[in-house]
Structure 1
Amino acid sequence: MIGAPLPPHEYVRLLDLARYEILDTPREEVFDRITRLTARLLGTPVAVINFVDQDRQWGKSSVGVGDTTAPRHDSFCAWTILQDGPLVIEDTQTDPRFAHNPMVTGEPHIRMYAGAPLTTPAGQRIGTLCVTHHQFHPLTPDDLQALQDLAALVMGELELRASSLALAHELNAQQLRNADLQRSLAHAHVLEGVSSLMDLDLSPEETTLSAAALLGEALNADYIGLLIFEGGELRVEAAHQTPQVAPAMGALPAPRPDWSGSITRTLTDLRRPLYLDDYPSVPGALTTMVDAGVQQVAWKPLGTRGGVTSLLMAVRLRDNPVTRWRGSDRALLEAAGRSVRGALDRRLEMQLARQEARHDALTGLLNRRALEEDLRQRQQDGAPFLLAGLDLDGLKALNDQEGHAQGDKLLQVFARTLRMEVGKAGEVYRLGGDEFVILESVDEDAVHHAVDMAVLAARQVGALRGASVGVAHSHEGEGEALLALADERMYGVKRRRQAVRQQQALSS
């Protein structure tokens, strides 16, 4: 037995067949009427309307035989669709293509076959109107013409069916478009509200929660919230929830015995939105959430900043009238998420830019701008503090003898050690060149000790005579006046040291 080859443009043919939505539909009288008429006119016991699918032959209507579904390899009709006109097999037992076909050697014992292709307006042959007989049954040219005319009637019914389906789809699509338009208008108002939040002076968490609250009603959600992952722990902040959903969301906050194996635990690595229409069927679904009736869950990642990962989460319960995450739902959640994420990123960039503007590029210490801001803040707070101005002795000579690269290295070692020695008790600033400032508590001895340790570390890099320090206390002045006082005292120390060195040089 030989199976029929595939016709040219088989993919296009299958698409044309799919357009009629006829496969696997129930019997219809309009097609049964045609098969009865065909059998009567051609005088055969069997008449069938068959369609040739990708891997099978499927019968829509038949007379004189039951189900005609068969593998495509065994299909007579698969040969018929290879040609424009009727295919007639007068004696199947002498035709090598069909002699061993199970429909010839067994029921219904086909001896004669004749089929006319069902040809679409696009020229694709999608099936046949065929007749068979278990005996010799020659057909006349008029018989074959009648078979083709009746096949044309089948196609006429199929085209009428396709037009009706297209009209129904269009009406349904129009209704859906109208509903989508209404949702889109509502969503636009929500997005406008979300965008306006970005201009308010809110913390990142406040911004996200406010945006989530606006989304709740627009998404018809039972819960909208913020998941915050930090240091291996999860925190959940609700922005919108119905009374029914509260028990479900109580299952989320860590720690939980089943936390490590839950789907929620995997969200820290989420990079794209995730939508679940059937949460209970997902491996790792939390039992308490399932028991509380959670059916649909959506997550929109907002990114990771400073070791903190955050996500927007929307939840619908089992009895929610909306049974799936619609395209408009996804578009709104993702657009709102992008707005929030963009705002958070801009805020982080501003914070980083501000931090960068407050730091010295060479040493990483705070700079003069930071000193001015912090000095004002300390004076506003009112707690006592001291300001120590210091200047390195001998750096110019090191630069002249060993080069500025070595001098920069010495400054970096000095700054790093000084910052470490001061610790949490204060802040260290580099004003430029070899000038530094320390804002500290009232422990002046600790300041001198920190400077001495930093000098010792710097001497491992190059010859440094020391550091001159001048200290002023917060009750002695404000702002530039306090800084000038410390500077004056520091230069007084420097002059006394220079005088001592000169005296020592003269006496030697």
Structure 2
Amino acid sequence: MLPAPLPVNEQARLRLLHSLEILDTPAAETFDRITRVVAEMLKVPIALVSLVDEHRQWFKSKVGLDIVETPRNLSFCAYALHEEDMLVIEDAKADQRFTDNPLVTGTPHIRFYAGVPLRMSGGLVLGTLCAIDKTPRSLTPSARAALKDLARIIERELIQQETIKDTRIVHEYDRRALAVSEARFATAFHKTPTGKAIIDLKGHFIEVNPRLCEMLGYAPEVLQQKTLSDITHSEDLSLSLQLVDELLAGTRDTYMLEKRYLCQDGTFIWAELSVALVRDENAEPLHLLSVIQDVSDRKQSEALLHDHQMELERRVVQRTADLQSSRETLQAITDNLPLLIAHVDRTLYYQFANDIYRQIFGIDPVSLVGKPLSSMLHPELYEELLPCFQAVLAGERVIRDNIRYSLQQDRIWCTTYIPDIRQGEVVGFYVMSQDVTERKLAEKVLIDKAMLDPLTGLPNRRALGEKLEQIIHAAQTEQIPSAIFFMDLDGFKAINDMHGHDAGDEILRQVSRRLTQTVRRDDFVSRLAGDEFVIVASGIPSPGIGSRIAESICQALAVPFPLDNGFAKLGASIGITLCPTTGEVSAENLLAQADAAMYEAKRKGRNNHRFASPLVHPAKRASAAKHPV
């Protein structure tokens, strides 16, 4: 069983979790409603809202479990803290991290797990919304999207909890002695990663925290001379004042709003605002507490996507409007657009489909006319998209990404639903789906390329660094011995000088192939830089085995290398260090020790190998700095 590593921001994460004062509190219907929906929607026996504390995971809400917590080192959710999107384990017994976990081998016999991180401001993850089954299974894209949407609701509830907690602190500030309350208030108000402000009932800033000043570019004393109206964008001011009036009138206790704030330099930022009204002991309004989170980056991304979709929609709608009088012409044009295009009436029946349906799904588009949408979409996808259909028939334009129309195909689509409005009435809607599979694959290829040396195709320095961290962890936790071979080619510079750099590049490619063919299949071969290569071999229990591997490499590289104008002879000086299974060790130290041993091999006559030992220290030379990983 492999316990999950701690997040890099673990201390900040725990401080925020404890500050919410939510641990060990009674069940709340707000959270229980979500877990019931998850259990019913995914048809799983167990659904949880799990908060990961220092030594345990505690369940704020649970369906299908009698216990309220489990040890953290057994929890699947501790792994989900590291995920950007979500963690899905289709079969825990097939995953080496969990195969011998007591929660898998014993009660509750977990086989399937899906957990979405609950991320707060500053990127701090407090826990997960997770679904658990006792049998292996997979998760459809629509189910993934729905589970993430439900997780966002829980995140908003946790943010609301933070706002309510801050309100209690401010109320305590007004009720207790000033010295005691200031200390408590300062921690909650000034040292959080979100902007916060106390505003009087006329809109003047009473107090602002450093984060808000940083966001808006104002010095605290300058911002405190402003009013809420002064720094609110004119287009958002009316709604802001209306919501404040509703707070003061008692028709609402809090509100959340996305609005624009004016910065000192004349620009503006988008922010997500959460406001609560603080009242005195007689329930009379005292002031407002605002929590402000900068969401400009997200709004900018949404705007770019919106502009792209608007332009696409404008072109298609314009073409459609111009060609309404000629269905044959419309068919000819839409059949040649790289989009799935359809027209659906108010009863969700097809009125038109282009020929791309035939190309993608093997369906005659004419045969779709008069048939319901449900005949084209598999049941789970139809249920997932039904709210989109209802929204577009209400007059809204709707965009839905990451759609998989066919469970037998890997194509990914981004679909826009545009209302068909005639004489002020929505009579149906247009469906436009763009295949974004290649874009998704291209993004994956870019990530893969970042880890490879472009000349040889071997893993590069960055990939080597990750591999060294892995073997160090395996050596320290599982006592798996490993060896690092630092290799430098003897005579390579002379070949470069005599035959040119193109020939040198060809030699490096041939060396890469011979190394890969010589070592074991699971050994890791990488190019560090120039004519330096590093090989990482796991399961090397003794120096004798390491010596045999090094000798095999020297023999393989001693065979002359064919070039266009003859043959080239090379040798290899190899330094070897064994990764210790105890004591402190770092990737930089391992590489430096192997490097030093390699130079010792060169001094002893080249084309041989030497082991690193306490007597062989890293050379004190400027070039040693080029090997940090």
- Rg larger for: 1
> TM class, shorter-chain normalised?
0.3 to 0.5
Query: Relative CO higher for 1 or 2, CA cutoff 8 Å, sep ≥ 6?
Result: 1
**Structure 1 length as normaliser, TM-score?**
0.35
More helix by share: 1
* TM-score calculated relative to the size of structure 2: 0.28
